[in-house]
A and B are shown apart, each in its own frame.
Chain A
Amino acid sequence: MHNELVSHLNSTVSGCNATAVTPEIGDSSIFVDASHIKAVCEELATGEWLFHTLQVITGTDYEDRIEVSYILCSYTKNNELILKVKLPKPTSDSIPEIDSVCSVWKAANWQERECWDMVGVKFNGHPDHRRILCPEDWEGFPLRKDYVVQEEYHGMKVNPAEKINNADHHFFKKIQETLEDPKKISHSWKGE
């Protein structure tokens, strides 16, 4: 299905540069150029493939890039597709940007807001570009790999030392170090 879809996309949306990635284990995906994402999504949603539902938008922070995965599904054709774009790694004064697909699926509205809130990808043309889970004046994007929690928020200390359960941390660390065999801490492996 993926190879068919790639040739279909390359012929209908010129310049989208679609390529399929089909690993041996796990799901396959299709990469397209970030600049053509809206045209590609419009084609997928309204064209013959009928991906009329956007399930989720996942932003992932890698060492050299940020990837945004659009997971689409078609109930009538019983298909699923992972559509991916690569965006440049953010620096201290730049954030990755991409066109919003809110006009294609209404589901994109909140999904893109979550992606902005958590990973820090800006969606151009989004009608309501705000944070969704964190407060509006929160600093940083939690799901980036280099995220450090801010120390203070409105005069309140974030993660005060006396509230951290150190005993718990030590306990689990000890378990990991001393008991390599999980059978010793649980009787639940009787199936083996």
Chain B
Amino acid sequence: MAIELIENGEAIKSDLLTLNMGPQHPATHGVLRVEIKTDSEIVAEAIPHIGYLHRCMEKHCEHLDYRGVIPFTDRMDYLAAMSMEWGYALAIEKMLGTEVPKRAEYIRVMIGEMQRLASHLMFFGVYAIDLGAFSPFLYAFQKREFILRIFEEISGARLLYNYYWIGGVWNDVTDAQLRRIAKFVEEMKEELKKYHTLVGENKIFIDRTKNVAILTPEQIYSFGASGPVLRGSGLAHDLRKDRPYSLYSELDFDVQVGHGEKGTVGDCWDRYHVRMREMHESIKIIEQCLDGIEEGPVMGKVPKIIKVPEGEIFMRTECPRGELGYHLISDGGKTPYRLKVKSSCFTHTSMLGEMAPGQMIADFVATIGSIDIVLGEVDR
């Protein structure tokens, strides 16, 4: 890859320079370290090193009862903790055959989609910062703050909720809270239009993201990418449509895919735009939940001491960052025998090595931002 410089008529081969990006680099979104071999300003090779946030949550879970695992799942993707809990609760419920009350299902879908909004708002803010624009971050955080406040009111915590329990949700929401959510999503529609003109159609932003880090469908399938990364490459796969869980089969929403409007299908701009349009879909879903929500209990019948029957299950759910899978193996006891987490961020981080070669270093920052990883989920 080294550039050949012509000096006095002779070709000089320059050496590659090794650069460490992270683990304390603001653009790596946490404690990711990427060892970059650069040739002037072009990345020749990038080797991601992970594990700085490794707590071996899977081992901890083997010593906890089934309810005790839920707070640990929060700490994986701490920006979308509700979605992390949801998948785990669904896996256990499916094994136990628990019926979740209708009101709890509505609350779950509504809260899950609000979490998606919060997570995508975070992406929108920090991605703009990665690319040098500071003010979108402030807009995004103002709106995200409302969601966190609502979450704090209903669950008692701002980020790590322990709210989705096996059999339902921990606490009921009040009518006043529902009215505030309705008002918020109404405001959010206008807000999203503003974001699009502010960032999405911004000339500098488009120049920085179009035709950068293009992912082809073959790469996507081979690496097992999911979520907005997969849909950004023009593939319309969404677990909420393909294998609907909870109430998603009854709700009306569209799967958003990248079309390559500004550059090529599967570039950074497409991944950005898929997330922004997904927020509109989330608002649609929240509105339907607000219309449909009915009175009733929020907790189903669950035994006091949960013993999952012997067997195994692989439960996938569509989280803001991609598909989250729980592979639970039970031996019939009070604790999971083995709980393996399929993390989409782990998968997406493994793609960095393939996306980086040939990029400018500044584009590489845009690439890391566009796959939207949370290192808590990568390392678990």
Which residues does A use to contact B, with CB under 8 Å?
23, 25-27, 29, 52-56, 58, 60, 69, 71, 73, 75, 78, 80, 82, 105-107, 109-110, 114, 118, 132-135, 142-143, 147, 180-182, 188-192
Task: Tell me whether A58 and B340 are in contact (CB under 8 A).
Answer: yes
Main SS at interface, chain A: loop
Task: Tell me whether B327 and A188 are in contact (CB under 8 A).
Answer: no
* In the complex, per-residue mask of B309-349: 1 if CB is within 8 Å of any chain A CB, else 0: 11111101000000101010110000001101010001101
Task: Tell me whether A80 and B171 are in contact (CB under 8 A).
Answer: no
Task: Tell me whether B346 and A110 are in contact (CB under 8 A).
Answer: yes
- B26 interfacial by beta-carbon distance below 8 Å: no
| Residue of A with least CB distance to B236 | A75
| Residue of A with least CB distance to B55 | A133
Task: Tell me whether A188 and B342 are in contact (CB under 8 A).
Answer: no
Residues on B with beta carbons closer than 8 Å to the beta carbon of A118: 56, 58
| Residue of A with least CB distance to B311 | A26
Known: A56-B327, A143-B59. 14 other contacts (CB 8 A): A25-B310, A26-B94, A26-B313, A71-B327, A75-B221, A75-B242, A78-B242, A106-B219, A110-B349, A133-B50, A180-B304, A190-B297, A191-B298, A191-B300
Contacts of B56-98 to chain A: CB distance below 8 A: 56, 58-59, 94-95, 97
**Alpha-carbon distance between A105 and B224 when the two chains are bound, in angstroms:** 8
**Alpha-carbon distance between A137 and B330 when the two chains are bound, in angstroms:** 32
Residues on B with beta carbons closer than 8 Å to the beta carbon of A135: 51
> Which 7 pairs between the two chains have the least Cβ-Cβ distance?
A191-B299, A26-B311, A56-B342, A107-B224, A58-B340, A133-B51, A191-B297
- B170 interfacial by beta-carbon distance below 8 Å: yes
Q: How far is the CB of B101 from chain A (nearest CB, A)?
A: 7
- B13 interfacial by beta-carbon distance below 8 Å: no
List 11 A-B residue pairs with CB atoms under 8 Å apart, sorted by A's residue number: A23-B310, A53-B222, A55-B342, A58-B340, A75-B221, A107-B222, A107-B223, A133-B50, A133-B51, A180-B304, A191-B101
Task: Tell me whether B56 and A82 are in contact (CB under 8 A).
Answer: no
Task: Tell me whether B311 and A192 are in contact (CB under 8 A).
Answer: no
Q: A75-B235, A190-B299 are in contact. Are A109 and B350 (CB under 8 A)?
A: yes
Residues on B with beta carbons closer than 8 Å to the beta carbon of A60: 329, 337-338
Q: A25-B311, A27-B313, A58-B340 are in contact. Are A188 and B171 (CB under 8 A)?
A: yes
- B189 interfacial by beta-carbon distance below 8 Å: no
Residues on B with beta carbons closer than 8 Å to the beta carbon of A27: 311-314
* Partner of B299 from A75, A106, A189 at Cβ < 8 Å: A189
- B180 interfacial by beta-carbon distance below 8 Å: no
Task: Tell me whether B222 and A134 are in contact (CB under 8 A).
Answer: no
- B379 interfacial by beta-carbon distance below 8 Å: yes
Residues on A with beta carbons closer than 8 Å to the beta carbon of B167: 191
Q: How far is the CB of A101 from chain B (nearest CB, A)?
A: 12
Contacts of B34-59 to chain A: CB distance below 8 A: 50-51, 54, 56, 58-59
Task: Tell me whether A105 and B222 are in contact (CB under 8 A).
Answer: yes
| Residue of B with least CB distance to A117 | B51
- B232 interfacial by beta-carbon distance below 8 Å: no
Residues on A with beta carbons closer than 8 Å to the beta carbon of B325: 55-56, 71
Task: Tell me whether B304 and A182 are in contact (CB under 8 A).
Answer: yes
- B354 interfacial by beta-carbon distance below 8 Å: yes
- B243 interfacial by beta-carbon distance below 8 Å: yes
**Alpha-carbon distance between A191 and B296 when the two chains are bound, in angstroms:** 9
- B240 interfacial by beta-carbon distance below 8 Å: no
Residues on A with beta carbons closer than 8 Å to the beta carbon of B369: none
* In the complex, per-residue mask of B268-302: 1 if CB is within 8 Å of any chain A CB, else 0: 00000000000000000000000000000111110
Q: How far is the CB of A51 from chain B (nearest CB, A)?
A: 10
Residues on B with beta carbons closer than 8 Å to the beta carbon of A25: 95, 97, 309-311
**Alpha-carbon distance between A156 and B346 when the two chains are bound, in angstroms:** 29
Residues on B with beta carbons closer than 8 Å to the beta carbon of A110: 346-347, 349-350
